[in-house]
């Protein structure tokens, strides 16, 4: 059997030519905010303007919360920042599905029991892999991993399921920004708090506190001009240092009407590997569409289902030229199976 697991060096070289166009549909983000026209919040993928925050930066930004979201939603949010600025964006899942533990939802065939399915999953995969009821619906679900296609295949072959879907969801994009809207951090302080913070930032050469507005309640808003701090990380390092040492959070606000995006579901049960154009069959036309999409996504689009179908090489690491080449090799008889 001629099956493709890893492509030859010449294919990898071809893939590297379009590496900058890889679409992020990794296994830990199978439903990453996408709609039929690609990513609903695609502008955040502009690496020249935005940076994804992880580690201590995400933890700090998670603490900049508003009453409209609970801690669980915030913890599951992806956080991006404008490069060189203190403005941040949170992509927040609104229906319980997060990017690390997406659930597959499926329906058991008539007469099939939960115990039958779990016994098979335990035998074929792992005793820890079990299904459970999906909310108040009659469907079942389980947390997917990299082997979810194989799970679907096994259950389908045994006629235990008649559907297998990775559901779409609603995601909210919230921008948190300083009142100044530029490179500075903003703080809302009493006179005593101002003296404390001003002394600290002056002694440690962090920046200059600039009065913006005084209020009748004895508090004032101040901008912290961060001076020579140019990168997002440097600015947030200063904000984290101030919080951990003096105890003051920057003053963030957010728009009253955040953007909402709905993702499309992915039908794994009826999916055809490589079927980028979703016409129900695999052909050279699918390889052509993938290459067109990679070259000009504004003109040539992939649906969420199409992008899922097209990602045939690797562990769901995104649509690339390697996928198109693999489809071409299959269609010309060089290999006889994708995988």
Which token pair is 37? 């026209």
Which token pair is 313? 């090489």
Q: What is the pLDDT of residue 119?
A: 93
Q: What is the pLDDT of residue 140?
A: 62
Cβ atoms 155, 106 nearer than 8 A: yes
Cβ atoms 251, 186 nearer than 8 A: yes
Is residue 276 helix, strand or coil?
Answer: coil
**101-166 to CATH, choices 1.10.3470, 3.30.70, 1.10.8, 3.30.160:** 3.30.70
Q: What is the pLDDT of residue 23?
A: 31
Cβ atoms 226, 183 nearer than 8 A: yes
Q: What is the pLDDT of residue 125?
A: 87
Below-70 pLDDT ranges, the chain: 1-40, 65-69, 94-103, 133-146, 168-170, 177-183, 254-258, 260-263, 315-317, 339
Report the top-level CATH class of 182-251.
Answer: alpha beta
Cα–Cα dist 27/205, whole Å = 44
The neighbour count for residue 42, using CB atoms within 10 Å, is 14
Same fold, 101-166 and 182-251: yes
The residues facing 164 across adjacent strands are: 106
Q: What is the pLDDT of residue 322?
A: 92
**DSSP label at residue 27:** G
Tracing tokens 């909402």 back to the chain, one arrives at 260
Task: Give the strands of the sheet with 266-267, arranged side by side.
Answer: 132-133, 140-143, 103-108, 161-166, 266-267
Q: What is the pLDDT of residue 100?
A: 41
pTM: 0.54
Sequence-distant (≥ 6) Cβ neighbours of residue 86 within 8 angstroms:
177, 178, 183, 184, 185, 232, 235, 236, 239, 250
Domain ranges of the chain: 1-29+273-339, 41-97+171-177+252-262, 101-166, 182-251
Q: What is the pLDDT of residue 269?
A: 92
């Amino acid at each position: 059997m001629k099956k493709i697991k890893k492509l030859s060096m010449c294919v990898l070289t071809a893939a590297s030519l379009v590496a900058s166009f890889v679409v992020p549909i990794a296994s830990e983000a199978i439903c990453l905010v996408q709609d039929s026209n690609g990513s609903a919040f695609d502008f955040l993928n502009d690496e020249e303007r935005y940076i994804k925050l992880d580690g201590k930066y995400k933890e700090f930004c998670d603490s900049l919360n508003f009453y409209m979201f609970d801690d669980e939603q915030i913890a599951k949010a992806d956080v991006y920042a404008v490069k060189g600025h203190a403005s941040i964006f949170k992509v927040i899942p609104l229906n319980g599905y997060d990017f690390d533990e997406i659930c597959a939802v499926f329906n058991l065939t008539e007469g099939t029991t939960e115990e039958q399915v779990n016994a098979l999953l335990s035998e074929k995969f792992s005793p820890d892999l079990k299904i459970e009821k999906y909310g108040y619906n009659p469907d079942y679900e389980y947390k997917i991993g990299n082997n979810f296609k194989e799970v679907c295949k096994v259950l389908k072959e045994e006629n235990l399921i008649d559907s297998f879907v990775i559901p779409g969801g609603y995601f909210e994009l919230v921008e948190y920004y300083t009142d100044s809207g530029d490179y500075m951090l903003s703080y809302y302080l009493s006179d005593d708090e101002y003296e404390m913070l001003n002394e600290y930032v002056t002694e440690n050469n962090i920046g200059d506190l600039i009065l913006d507005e005084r209020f009748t309640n004895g508090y004032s808003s101040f901008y912290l001009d961060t001076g020579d701090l140019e990168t997002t990380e440097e600015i947030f390092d200063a904000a984290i240092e101030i919080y951990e040492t003096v105890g003051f959070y920057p003053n963030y606000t957010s728009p009253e009407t955040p953007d909402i995006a709905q993702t499309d579901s992915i039908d794994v049960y009826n999916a055809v590997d490589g079927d980028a154009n979703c016409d129900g069959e695999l052909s050279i036309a699918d390889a052509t569409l993938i290459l067109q999409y990679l070259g000009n996504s504004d003109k040539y689009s992939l649906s969420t289902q199409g992008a899922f179908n097209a990602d045939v090489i690797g562990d769901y690491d995104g649509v690339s030229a390697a996928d198109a080449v693999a489809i071409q090799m299959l269609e010309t008889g060089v290999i006889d199976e994708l995988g």
